[in-house]
Amino acid sequence: MQHSIDGNRLWARLMAMAEIGAIPENGSCRQSLSDEDEAGRTLFLKWCLSRGYKIRRDRIGNLFVRRAGSHPEAAPVLIGSHLDTQPTGGRFDGVLGVLAGLEVLETLDDRGVETTRSIELCVWTNEEGCRFQPAMMGSGVACGSLDLETALSARDISGITLAGEIARHGYDSHPVPRLDEADCYIELHIEQGPILEAAQKTIGVVTGGQGIRWYELSVLGEETHAGPVPMALRKDPVPMLTQIIQLVQAIGRINADARCTIGKICLSPGSINVVPGCADMTVDLRHPDEAGLDDMHRRLMDGLEMIRRAHGEVELQVRPIWHSPVIAFDQHLIEAVRTSASNRQLPFQRVTSGAGHDAFNLARRLPATMIFIPCRKGISHNPREYAEPYHVSAGANVLLDVVLGRAE
């Protein structure tokens, strides 16, 4: 028998949560471990407590809300997302996955459905990474990919430590985060990109996350006066810089899945009448399969070597600083999402996640997947972020189906 969630209740809760830390243009500001973030969690826990769910906290501030199954020893099904937002965040990023998770638990209660496995709704601390770095912190610590002490020593821009905020909100008396044996993890999220809306699809069957490689490049020349020194005698980093920009743009066009971004360029000293002594830049390469990302990496390295040889007047330094491998979600869970969308006659398509999510940390430990719904014009991390109530309900229903299939 097919059950369905209460779309009105879920929508009302999304709107109620958005009132906490409300900012102009319908946005929300609940940066991690701020008073607003804590107030949002308090409201969420009030809803959970009224249903009698068992609540646990850990020392990094993660919350775990458990609806017990009939076999408490069976590995639980984990669902969840995050309640923190960007400083100018919207109403759906993260919040949707948490409140749709609560909606799944309540729907099972309302329909009197007993599951074999327990279902555990997780609220991960500091997914956004805007106030404290790195992002996806709570899930990273729980999954063992980030050290607890490193996380606790993070400072915000005003010098406040994460450890201090953890203590202020009373999380420091709770146990060290540790992911218990679990069956799987499923996260519903807005797409944060324009693909589903453009294709008029309701459900994104997320197959994984893009691999990412980051580089810092420096071109070192010699600062000199813009007037007296003839062009041929300069050690100007800019001619090499322009070739590097062309190279990176060309790599971004080798196929439709490739993404290349030069996000930062800095010329020093940055004066109108000085030939710069140094050009610093960053390169971000992404691709949904590792072989594709490797190919982009090789093209970048080979291209930079050719450019280096053509410009003996300046020195090129290349520093690869980060490599996050491609995340492949679990085939059975991907298939369960696809089947649910198909059974409910919801238009769907397979997508890869362009943004990072807590599910990536979980996927390194457990079978995991994500479900995406469209957001208007792909806009996110913005007060104007918006998801249609119909899409919100559809996504929560698919989450319900996949969870039930796993927990029954």
Site residues (vs Zn ion, CB under 5 A): 93-94
- The nearest distance, CB 178 to Zn ion, in angstroms, is 23
Strand runs (DSSP E) across 22-101, as ranges? 22-23, 27-28, 54-57, 63-67, 77-81
Nearer to Zn ion, 124 or 215 (CB): 124
Residues 6+ apart with CB under 8 A from 337: 203, 205, 206, 348, 369, 371, 398, 402
Nearer to Zn ion, 94 or 140 (CB): 94
- The nearest distance, CB 10 to Zn ion, in angstroms, is 17
- The nearest distance, CB 127 to Zn ion, in angstroms, is 5
- The nearest distance, CB 47 to Zn ion, in angstroms, is 20
C-alpha distances out from residue 92 to 60, 89, 188, Å: 23, 9, 10
- The nearest distance, CB 357 to Zn ion, in angstroms, is 6
Tokens of 376: 């208007």
Nearer to Zn ion, 89 or 211 (CB): 89
Nearer to Zn ion, 136 or 304 (CB): 136
Look at the alpha carbons of 225, 229, 234, 238 in this order and tell me if their dihedral is positive or negative: positive
Cα gap 405→390, rounded to integer Å: 23
- The nearest distance, CB 82 to Zn ion, in angstroms, is 6
Residue type, 302: D
Nearer to Zn ion, 94 or 138 (CB): 94
Cα gap 277→220, rounded to integer Å: 6
DSSP 171: G
Nearer to Zn ion, 195 or 229 (CB): 195
Tell me how long the chain is: 408
Instruction: Name the residue whose CB lies closest to Zn ion.
Output: 94
